Structure 1
Amino acid sequence: MKQLFQFEFKKYFKKKTTWIAVLTSIFFISSLYFLNYSVAEDIQRGNLSFAKNSINISQQVLKELELQKIEAEKNDDIEKITDYKLAIQDSQQSISKRNKWIANYAQGNWQDIYEANINHLQFMFKSSKGTNTFNYAIEKQYISLFTARATLEELLLLKKNKAEPFIQNTIYTPFLFTIYDQFTGSALEYWEKDTMRYGTTGSLFLYQIIQYYYIPVLILLGCFIFGNNISSEMNNKKRGLHFYYTLPIKRKSLFITKYFSGFLSTLVFVLLMLLIPLLCSYFTKGIGNFDYPVLVYEGSEPNPFGSEYNSLNPIKDQFHFITLKNYFGQVLLLTAVLTFFLYSFYYISSLLLKSLSITTSFVGIIAFIGMKSFSSPYNPFTYVNIHSVLTGETATLVFNPSINLSTGVMLTFALGCTLLFTGYKLFIKTYH
């Protein structure tokens, strides 16, 4: 058995197509990291430029106020003199704060910036006290109290953990994007642009791309590279599987060797691609702080009168934060069992369809439809959206707390085992 495994692994890594696929993947994700880093730097420069321009405008306003104050003094208008003095004082304080922000932002002194943002948010909460809205709106559309509460808690944890933040396209409060806001039209476009986040450290970039189905794509790519070792050897051009039939090898041992050599290669490939952003970050800002806070939704209680009456409550709904290292640990666990399930599904599909491109397209389409059609604790494709499951987003949106890590691990592992056994039976029946 050991020699069979060694032989299979050697076959994989002697193939030029394997190396081309792996190296192309490494090049792509490395390029994506450096492109993202470049965009983040451009946004930082843009924020600094915008802040400096706002100071220039404020200084012009200050000059106008000083001239008007002089004019009022000539006319002995005591009331206007007092008003202009207060306006000048406010303008000077505003310029001083903005200059301090520019210095801190340029030097990466995030602690002072966090402190200023925290104080500003706490002041806004006080001004919103007694109302059901938060005193911040875009085109007369208010952000939810949930978003404001989560943003404040995130800033407090960032300050406490001394973590570097994501870069956002704003010089004001860096609000956290949540599922509780209901913006429409141009306000939605502005909000999405304002809350779009770019990670400059390796850990933040990895966290960023995991939210965009990075891992499921890697798994399918790994299946494409390593998951056709039986079907491809039984095509019309090269019946390589017949070589094994001339040897005293049991069909069971052959299947186990073929299956697990491909599965382990796929899993190693996925883990390698997860490490690439961390390795690339050594050429920029480093890996970063693994104590970065990750928002986890706790959801709303289902309405006792029926699911059609379910609604999110931005005032009462709770949340908590976990550290990035805790989040990554959960990601790795769910990734391992999801790889097992999807690889098993891919493997049995390849035995039936016997075409690499058709199998990959079929599995990809089924996974996408299964993920988008309905969210349920018993739909294995629900767990393809790893980030939404681990942060409680999916469970919150469908009012079903059973959609969680433990359910996902048990379900995908059980189905993976079932597909593995079915694949073995199919192999024994088909390839004899």
Structure 2
Amino acid sequence: MKSLVFRIAGVSISMAAAVACVASGNDDETSAAPRDVPEGGTTVPTEDGGEAREAGPDGGAILDAGPDGAGSATCSPDGWCLTELPTYSDELELNDVWPLAGSAFAIAGTQLGSVRFLEWSDASNRWSAIDDDTLHYVDAVAGSVWAPNADEVYFTTSSWSSPGGLVHYGKRPIPPATDWSWKRFSFECNATETPRVWGTSKSDVFVMSCAKIHRLAGDADDAGASPWIEAYVDDDAVYPVTFHGATGTSRDDAWFVGTRAGGFRGGRCAVVVRKTAAGYEPVVDGNPSRGCGQKAGSEAIPIAGAFGRATGDAIHAPAKDRFIGVSFGTVPNNDVVRIAPNGAGGYAVDVTSPSPELSVALRSVWGASEDDLWFVVAPPTSTTDSFNASIVRGTNIWADGGGFQYSTLALNGLPNSKALQRIRGTSNTNLWAVGANSAFYKKTP
């Protein structure tokens, strides 16, 4: 049996929390002394946020203030700038964003069944729609986005009324052409499930769909047979996994995340499958019929709840052999979980949480390192969506003396009333936080 070590971080600004449903199947919760507010910080959620604007007619941009600083500010005191989105007849809800140096891609859906593929350019200072106009009011659902470079991009979509989903592969036009070229791959199954795409290089691309992980085995641009092959297949026919996303640093340091659901009365158990040079290994898994207790014949860590929602928004690998996830179930428990090899053939699990005094529910996470993490947060009563969202930065949260501090989105003193879905970046000077008709961009430390 592989060894397993659980540790609860003692963080002066945060409350230690237990991993729910460990092997014994029992909850274990520990509280710490009230935290001290860090210097320069605030614990008043209503002082954080940003005001959304209507998009201009020619795409989106970071709007300038008027002469001599007159007019409405579009950047918060902490450097979060609200960018304009392209005009659309229905409000755009950005599900995902993939930043690159000098650009970014995003996928947006609407409540009326449309999906738009968007590109941001630092050079032009605006968002542009790059899709082929075939996903307007067609019962489409926005999924995820990933790009190996600025000239190629993958998006995923599905339909509310049809099982399976699509992966869209796009290539930038070569002048004098002006339209992106698109190729679509269908991933069929019996479930209404949106595929997720992620990768680490042009040749190392993965699609998660219908309890399977598919790997790109050829050139996505080639005609003929599909270049995707099955790399991992979940073998639980009773409680099949639904994959929500992936993170990692290379093709041999990848973490694929999902949940097992036990029906109306069953549990909702986190699943993490790790890929190394040796292959695929379930690291986190549990039996929904046993409250996410240990599965028979499994050495995986049993954790109740899920890492993020069905969009896989609350996972990140800040370094090799490091997995960070926000774990919560029906009621957010705000556990920030770190999983890493323990050097003895197993895994060590560390858990920490912000103090209840901070009064937030953690959502999406990204960080330049495990000791410098950014979180989208929502009011603690927001169990499904991140309305009135804010940004919190966690520094050294795994040790005494670390903590969580707001990074304000506030524009002109007004709090944000919008939901934010995802935070991603390439560094602390290239960060994006996107959501309901909102895309905040941070280029300052």
TM-score normalised over the length of structure 2: 0.21
Please say which structure displays the higher CA radius of gyration. 1
Q: Which protein has the bigger helix share?
A: 1
TM-score normalised over the length of structure 1: 0.21
